[in-house]
Chain A
């Protein structure tokens, strides 16, 4: 049975009046209740996409549904809490008064203010002016404002940006809490570690296109997954032998070693075959491909990876 979607886009495209194509026919599907990481290098189109989903930008073409309604419509915004790009508040108001303003716009009871301040650990500084806040405190106030409506769906743009290590850990814990509460979280990041630790699924965007989508493990598998690294002598003889029974497409040579894209369970039989042919094997190990290398592969050749891993 198909899972309900919190966010769905079809051919979503945004070309600015300057001619810049920021988002290019994006088909994005975020399932209800999951934490979805939107990954991409700076300038890839992440924030533009989140602005489109929040109704701040009008698409050039394509369509989107956010929380079951058109982005920016009151029906969509009623279920959406968002922090897009910079946490933006009134500098002359305290943190608490800023949340009072947001609560009034959102028609939310002011009784929600203290719990969300507590949730982001900002109660002690809530009476101070926003202009005196550190970057991390501003970030936490932005998350507090996003939580004010008790939303089903949260869109968080680089939520750990500017946070110290302690704050980053707390933010991850908060996102985990939100998932356990059954909320959907769509977060953008260029920090691979953050995405790997917090997200159920990941979408990778490069030059405005979605180049891959899936779990972190699926992305690894699709882009080489785990590799068998073999150092053998003589190298050419080992290469010929392995190419003959594995196929040349499974094999490449780098830095004097053979890299095999095969199931690591075959390692023992491959070793036996090499040794029986008189080849010395001095090293044989499984290389786990880092998300970083997957990311680099995907974002360096965006036009060749458009078929991505689909659920």
Chain B
């Protein structure tokens, strides 16, 4: 597995697509989550209407709300980017037929995929660290510019928030990786993953969340459970967009962990048993 991990690290480091995805995630997080939010709320347009004054809303970008503000985009754009990352990591191997080049080398199939999984775990760890660190820096700069005062979250909140961020990113990456192995096609894996995310999770879960029957079904979706975890990191003010969560945070953590294990084991079983090549 170590041999496979070393090979995966080299491939991931040299692949521009990975760096572009990372850049897009950071850009969206910092530009939309911090800079534009601060600029707009600092100088709200004349037609700005909100039950919470702009002067209060602006505190979302200050250090006191670091964890909640970083986690906020991770159930949508963050999830999408990690699905693409996971899908690319496995589906490309089938597209380029490099899967057979890999499997003819010494490690067995399980070791090959465990190396890939370990590499993705490291990447999601590094993305989580970088996202939190850069968001912390941005919030520090913005609060300094604003001349306001804001306390940092407690260490336990920061650690718990980091854990939530890493778990959510890992689940979506594992989902993309699983789709890549299941479909053996980059387009199908990424397309399928994004359709799931934006149609089933975002659209249906929003529109039909109070429909009896469907509501029970929605409680099992990873996005709904991730949202419940994110909501447990409360803003220091009552958000006007806050919705009632379908599940509590504890169930959210457990469900996401189950999904992570499920995607990993299912991918391993398929990868181990399925033929490579031929018709």
**Is B one of A's binding partners?**
yes
Binding site for B on A (CB under 8 A): 14, 16, 18, 20, 22, 47-48, 51, 54-58, 72-74, 77-78, 80-82, 84-86, 88-93, 97, 100-102, 104-107, 145, 149
Picked from A20, A47, A73, A102, the residue with its CB within 8 Å of the CB of B105 is A102
Enumerate B84-112 residues with CB–CB distance to A below 8 Å.
96-109, 111-112
List A contacts of B109 (CB < 8 A).
Answer: 72
Q: In the bound complex, how far is the Cα of B177 from the Cα of A80, in angstroms?
A: 29
Q: In the bound complex, how far is the Cα of B10 from the Cα of A107, in angstroms?
A: 14
24 A-B pairs with C-beta separation under 8 A? A22-B278, A47-B277, A51-B277, A56-B100, A57-B275, A57-B278, A58-B273, A72-B108, A72-B109, A77-B105, A84-B100, A88-B96, A88-B100, A89-B96, A93-B11, A101-B11, A102-B7, A102-B105, A104-B3, A104-B7, A104-B10, A105-B105, A106-B3, A107-B3
Q: Are B104 and A56 in contact (CB under 8 A)?
A: yes
Binding site for A on B (CB under 8 A): 3-4, 6-7, 10-11, 14-16, 96-109, 111-112, 273, 275-279
List A contacts of B107 (CB < 8 A).
Answer: 74, 77, 105, 107
List B contacts of A107 (CB < 8 A).
Answer: 3, 106-107
Q: Contacts A58-B273, A58-B275, A92-B15; is A104 near B6 (CB within 8 Å)?
A: yes
Q: In the bound complex, how far is the Cα of B109 from the Cα of A56, in angstroms?
A: 10
Q: In the bound complex, how far is the Cα of B15 from the Cα of A251, in angstroms?
A: 68
Q: Which 7 A-B pairs have the closest CB atoms?
A: A88-B97, A104-B7, A105-B105, A106-B105, A56-B276, A107-B3, A104-B6
- Between A and B, how many residue pairs show CB distances below 8 Å? 105
> Other than the known A78-B106, A100-B10, what 11 A-B pairs have Cβ atoms closer than 8 Å?
A47-B277, A51-B275, A57-B275, A74-B108, A80-B104, A84-B277, A88-B96, A97-B10, A102-B7, A105-B105, A107-B107
Q: In the bound complex, how far is the Cα of B105 from the Cα of A104, in angstroms?
A: 9
List B contacts of A90 (CB < 8 A).
Answer: 11, 15, 96, 98
In angstroms, how far is the closest chain B Cβ from the Cβ of A54? 5
Picked from A51, A89, A105, the residue with its CB within 8 Å of the CB of B276 is A51
Q: In the bound complex, how far is the Cα of B83 from the Cα of A21, in angstroms?
A: 37
Closest B-chain residue to A130, C-beta based?
A: B96
List A contacts of B99 (CB < 8 A).
Answer: 88
In angstroms, how far is the closest chain B Cβ from the Cβ of A66? 11
Q: Are B10 and A105 in contact (CB under 8 A)?
A: no
Picked from B6, B7, B279, the residue with its CB within 8 Å of the CB of A18 is B279
Q: In the bound complex, how far is the Cα of B277 from the Cα of A22, in angstroms?
A: 13
In angstroms, how far is the closest chain B Cβ from the Cβ of A174? 19
Q: In the bound complex, how far is the Cα of B101 from the Cα of A77, in angstroms?
A: 12
Q: Are A88 and B101 in contact (CB under 8 A)?
A: yes
Q: Are B104 and A82 in contact (CB under 8 A)?
A: yes
In angstroms, how far is the closest chain A Cβ from the Cβ of B170? 24
Q: Are B104 and A84 in contact (CB under 8 A)?
A: yes
Q: Are B106 and A149 in contact (CB under 8 A)?
A: yes
List B contacts of A80 (CB < 8 A).
Answer: 104
Picked from A57, A77, A82, A104, the residue with its CB within 8 Å of the CB of B277 is A57
Q: Contacts A56-B104, A84-B104; is A101 near B279 (CB within 8 Å)?
A: no
Q: Of residues B99, B273, B275, which shows the largest number of chain A Cβ atoms within 10 Å of its Cβ?
A: B275
Q: In the bound complex, how far is the Cα of B101 from the Cα of A81, in angstroms?
A: 10
In angstroms, how far is the closest chain A Cβ from the Cβ of B171? 27
Q: In the bound complex, how far is the Cα of B111 from the Cα of A97, in angstroms?
A: 21
In angstroms, how far is the closest chain A Cβ from the Cβ of B176? 19
Q: Are A48 and B278 in contact (CB under 8 A)?
A: yes
Picked from B101, B103, B111, the residue with its CB within 8 Å of the CB of A89 is B101
Closest A-chain residue to B16, C-beta based?
A: A92
In angstroms, how far is the closest chain A Cβ from the Cβ of B169? 24
Q: Are B98 and A16 in contact (CB under 8 A)?
A: no
Q: Are A101 and B276 in contact (CB under 8 A)?
A: no
Q: Are B108 and A73 in contact (CB under 8 A)?
A: yes
Q: Are B14 and A97 in contact (CB under 8 A)?
A: yes
Q: Are A57 and B11 in contact (CB under 8 A)?
A: no
Q: In the bound complex, how far is the Cα of B105 from the Cα of A82, in angstroms?
A: 9
Closest B-chain residue to A82, C-beta based?
A: B104
List B contacts of A93 (CB < 8 A).
Answer: 11, 14
List A contacts of B105 (CB < 8 A).
Answer: 77, 102, 105-106, 149
Picked from B11, B111, B275, the residue with its CB within 8 Å of the CB of A56 is B275
Closest B-chain residue to A142, C-beta based?
A: B101
In angstroms, how far is the closest chain A Cβ from the Cβ of B44? 45
In angstroms, how far is the closest chain A Cβ from the Cβ of B107? 6
Q: Are B278 and A54 in contact (CB under 8 A)?
A: no
Q: Of residues A47, A91, A106, which shows the largest number of chain B Cβ atoms within 10 Å of its Cβ?
A: A106
Q: In the bound complex, how far is the Cα of B96 from the Cα of A81, in angstroms?
A: 19
Closest A-chain residue to B11, C-beta based?
A: A101
Q: In the bound complex, how far is the Cα of B16 from the Cα of A232, in angstroms?
A: 77
In angstroms, how far is the closest chain A Cβ from the Cβ of B124? 21
In angstroms, how far is the closest chain B Cβ from the Cβ of A198? 22
Q: In the bound complex, how far is the Cα of B276 from the Cα of A82, in angstroms?
A: 14
Q: In the bound complex, how far is the Cα of B103 from the Cα of A51, in angstroms?
A: 11
